[in-house]
Structure 1
């Protein structure tokens, strides 16, 4: 065997190793590019879900405020009519007391009947007024509380969606590192360093895929 043939035989394993490394690197870079695009897509989708949830939470806050205003208005009317009733009772004016009682709103009449049945003038344990009873529920009070609960739920969902979007954004950074290691893997003359770069890129990609599989997805 001549020196040229011996040199050629020594180069063949080296060339085969370089070709194998380059092939693996291309596959890693191709898969990482796809995974990066998918992570960006998911981050965008979760960001949209976050915005929708925040918007719905704001809408429910407005509904809760409107219903609370309605409840306050109803309570104000009931207070005025009940004040006329107390004035009639205090002045022994049965006509005024009956006039006011006939104009009790249905929701107030329920609480008033319960309060009156407790004999508040004789019973020290009786509620100070019908408004202190749980049976007094002006229109809008329940609706306001329910809207507040829905707003809280949407707000919590928005925060969760924001975190999910951030997770995918961080994942794109991880895949960017894979691209970095893969791009520079073949820039080194030393085979050991080149393979170390490829191995590091592969490990990072496996870690990223593991996270990607564990994250919730929107398609």
Structure 2
């Protein structure tokens, strides 16, 4: 085989590699764009869910606060009746304790009224308290998920830029440049493509 034939064969191989890299990278670039869009959508959904949960948590906390105010008002009347030694009024007020305040009051009395008031007892759980805590935790989880999804979308976007660079280098290698320059550009494109594919395989997929 003459030198010209050998060079021609190498050139054909270079052209085939360039076409292969261009084809594969074009598909990968489109895929990264698709995934970035999907994760961006997931981020928006998670942020919306976090906001909704936060609003509901605030509403539940408001409900719990209103219940506490009611219990405090009734309890204050009971304290006043006890201070005036008006047992009849005290019994009347006690009979009107709310269902969630009564268990705390009874536990408080059973333990000798050690705490300052029944409000300090763990049995006292006004409506909305547990819901507020659960919704607040949900909001925190959704917000964290939104940030994670945002990062995933950014990762795919950065990889899109990397594959775009591969396309650029491959296209430049096919230009009318010195042989060694073309091969060097194509070599860099292949290396970057392999690195990009390796990174891509570590990313989560959203369909």
User: Aligning the two structures, in what range does the TM-score lie when normalised by the shorter sequence?
Assistant: over 0.9
Q: Which moved more, 1:189-198 or 1:175-184?
A: 189-198
TM-aligned CA deviation for residue 15 of structure 1: 2.6
Q: What is the SS of the residue equivalent to 1:57?
A: helix
Distance in 2 between residues matched to 1:29 and 1:119, nearest whole Å: 82
For residues 173-188 of structure 1, the aligned pairs below 5 Å read: 173-188=161-176
Distance in 1 between residues matched to 2:102 and 2:9, nearest whole Å: 93
For residues 131-150 of structure 1, the aligned pairs below 5 Å read: 131-150=119-138
Matched, 1:24 2:11: no
Partner of 2:102: 109
Partner of 2:91: 98
Q: Which moved more, 1:184-193 or 1:195-204?
A: 184-193
Q: Normalization by structure 1: what TM-score?
A: 0.91
- What runs of 5+ residues in structure 2 fail to find an aligned partner? none
For residues 58-69 of structure 1, the aligned pairs below 5 Å read: 58-69=51-62
- Among 39, 42, 57, the alignment partner of 1:46 is 39
Partner of 1:196: 184
TM-aligned CA deviation for residue 188 of structure 1: 4.4
Q: What is the SS of the residue equivalent to 1:105?
A: coil
For this pair of structures, how many residues does the alignment match? 206
TM-aligned CA deviation for residue 11 of structure 1: 3.3
Partner of 1:4: none
Q: What is the SS of the residue equivalent to 2:174?
A: helix
TM-aligned CA deviation for residue 189 of structure 1: 3.8
TM-aligned CA deviation for residue 19 of structure 1: 2.0
Distance in 1 between residues matched to 2:24 and 2:111, nearest whole Å: 77
Measured on the aligned residues, the alpha-carbon RMSD in Å equals: 1.2
- What runs of 5+ residues in structure 1 fail to find an aligned partner? 1-8, 121-125
Partner of 2:116: 128
CA shift digits 1:103-161 (9 cap, x unpaired) = 001110001111112223xxxxx100000111111000011000000111111111110
TM-aligned CA deviation for residue 193 of structure 1: 1.7
CA shift digits 1:42-84 (9 cap, x unpaired) = 0000000011001000010011001000000111110111111
